[in-house]
Amino acid sequence: MARRKNTKAKSSQKTDNASSINQKKFEQDNTSKLPKKKNSQMPDQQAEEEKSNEVVWKKNPTKYSDKIFRNNYMKLFIKKGSTDYHGECIYCNRDILVDNLYDHIKSGKHRNKTDKKEHDDLDGLIKDINDYGNLKKTKKELKKEKELKGNQNDIYNYLEFLAFGMAERFSFSQISKIGLFIKNIIKDNKAGFFKNQSFDEEEISLIARNCFQKSLIEDINKKLESRPFSLIIDNSTISKENYCVLQARFLESINNETVVTNKVLKIHKLDEKSDAKTMHKIIKDRLLSNPEIERNFIGIVHDNASSLIGKYNGLVTKLQEDKSNLFSLKDPCHCFNLILKNSLSELPKRIMKFVTKIHLHFKWPQRKAILSNIQKEIDQKELTLKPYIKTKVIKSGH
Ligand SMILES: [Zn+2]
């Protein structure tokens, strides 16, 4: 109550008593709550007057132009003001910022200065101003709503893309690469083919074989013609089918750095008739028919299988017959595997039982976590058990 009394007292004072902006605002907000007096200095008028006197410089103030007129009647009393951003109310003889003009027109003071005959026109103008304000607001809201909806749709579609990649068991790195690739082609306006192409599996396979394969082979051949290389050969069983894989390994300079490069040369499906002769023919046809490649072929790495090293029918033996200085290296990974296998067989059975038991115990992640916690507590280096399996897992190493 005390505050209101104070306000009341203040509002009857001359407004040029410099009061703080907050106080002014408080007064403006509260004047409407005060009982209206019938004298000419009504508090709401005073508030309006203060409001239009305030120099409210917006970030981008509106310039005076034809666009500010809401109807022809407004043109009758609003003229260009002192600056590009001011209009003048002829009736009130006041220079007003364009951004504050509508408030001024709606004010009681302006109404008082307007001839009563024009009050209907003034009401019409105020209605037009209000309608324009509402329309502007609606447009803004609609735009915002549209933007928000667009953003939400984008986020939804993005998540759908990620979920698709994960469901297809692509790695995060693959999803990222595919995403960036598509992003770039859309940015470069090259995404039109998505609409027109069928992405048919058969067609993709044909393109790979008839189009990309040729150029890839040419590319590898050029490299093999120009530098020494060795060959890795190994057989593998995938879905009960046997395959023989040939891989070349050579040194290559990429971005001024010399790196070891591996390139698969051939994956050959083996049948029951496949033997060293078959593989020998594959290598001869694929590589040694080109004399320059033949010259650069310096070594072969293999798992020491009897089909490869057999004295009479072994593949390596046959290759060495063609090329006497060919270096034959037993794959160290296979050798290590053999060493471990033989070493383990020397251990007493109870020790192997213990090793197996320990590994079985720590198969569960919870138990691994308990072990690491204990190590952390006693300030020890965190060590965990490597999975122990009986078969070799490392392949094609030199
Ligand atoms: Zn006026």
Reported as a single tens digit per residue, the pLDDT across 308-359 is: 666 667 788 888 888 888 888 887 777 787 788 788 888 888 888 888 888 8
Residue 320: predicted pLDDT: 84
Count of Cβ atoms closer than 10 Å to residue 31 Cβ: 20
Q: Is position 190 within any domain?
A: no
Phi-psi region of 239 (alpha: psi -120 to 50; beta: other; left: phi over 0): left
When divided into structural domains, the chain yields a total of: 2
Residue 364 lies in a domain: yes
Average pLDDT score over residue span 91-119 = 93
Distance, CA 80 to ligand 1 centroid (Å)?
13
Q: Which amino acid is at 89?
A: C
| Polymer length in residues for the chain | 398
Q: How far apart are CA 373 and CA 368, in angstroms?
A: 9
Asked if residue 186 belongs to a domain, the reply is no
Quote the pLDDT of residue 377.
92
Tell me, in angstroms, the distance from the centre of ligand 1 to residue 77's CA. 8
Does some domain include residue 370?
yes
Distance 41 CA to ligand 1 centre (A): 16
Beta bridge partner(s), residue 243: 236, 269
| pLDDT for 34 beyond 60 | no
CATH number, domain with residue 232: 3.30.420
List, for residues 208-247, the tens digit of each pLDDT value: 888 888 888 888 999 999 999 999 887 777 777 888 888 8
The DSSP code for 155 is H
Measuring CA to CA, which residue among 221, 228, 225, 230 is closest to residue 249? 230
Task: Mark whether 313 and 267 lie in a shared domain.
Answer: yes
- What is the average pLDDT across 17-41? 42
Q: Are residues 308 and 368 in the same domain?
A: no
H or E element in which residue 258 lies: strand 257-270
C-alpha of residue 12 to centroid of ligand 1, in Å? 22
Question: Does residue 234 sit in the same domain as residue 324?
Answer: yes
Alpha helices in the chain (DSSP H): 2-11, 21-31, 43-53, 72-77, 101-106, 108-113, 119-167, 172-187, 193-196, 201-207, 213-226, 276-283, 291-296, 306-309, 315-322, 332-346, 349-361, 365-377
Q: 43 C-alpha vs ligand 1 centroid, how far in Å?
A: 17
* Ligand 1 centroid, distance to 38 Cα (angstroms): 21
Nearest to 11 by CA among 1, 26, 2: 26
Give the confidence band of 8 by pLDDT, cuts at 50, 70, 90: very low
Which of the listed residues 330, 361, 387 is the one where a domain comes to its end? 330
Contact criterion met (CB below 8 Å) for 277 and 310: no
Residue 96 CA to ligand 1 center (angstroms) comes to: 9
Please give the structure tokens belonging to residue 324: 């006497």
> In this structure, how many other beta carbons lie within 10 angstroms of the beta carbon of residue 101?
25
Q: Which of 301, 330, 359 is the last residue of a domain?
A: 330
Q: How far is the CA of 78 from the centre of ligand 1 (A)?
A: 8
Range of the domain at 393: 345-398
Asked whether residue 314 is domain-assigned, the answer is yes
**For residue 221, which of 278, 282, 316, 288 has the smallest C-alpha distance?**
288
- CA of 104 from ligand 1 middle (Å) equals 6
- Roughly how many angstroms between the first and final C-alpha of the chain, as a whole number? 92
pLDDT: is 237 or 269 the higher one?
269
Whether 291 and 375 share a structural domain:
no
Contact 214, 222 (CB under 8 A): no
Higher pLDDT, 395 or 202: 202
316 within domain boundaries: yes
Helix (H/G/I), strand (E/B), else coil: 299: strand
Last residue of a domain, one of 330, 361, 389: 330
- Distance of CA 103 from the midpoint of ligand 1 (Å): 10
Domain membership of residue 167 (yes or no) is no
179 CA to centre of ligand 1 in angstroms:
61
Most confident residue range from 167-181, 244-258, 260-274: 167-181
- 275 and 349 inside one domain: no
Q: Position of tokens 């209605």?
A: 127
The pTM of the whole model exceeds 0.75:
no
Averaged confidence pLDDT in the chain: 80
CA of 19 to the centre of ligand 1 (A): 25
**238 lies in some domain:** yes
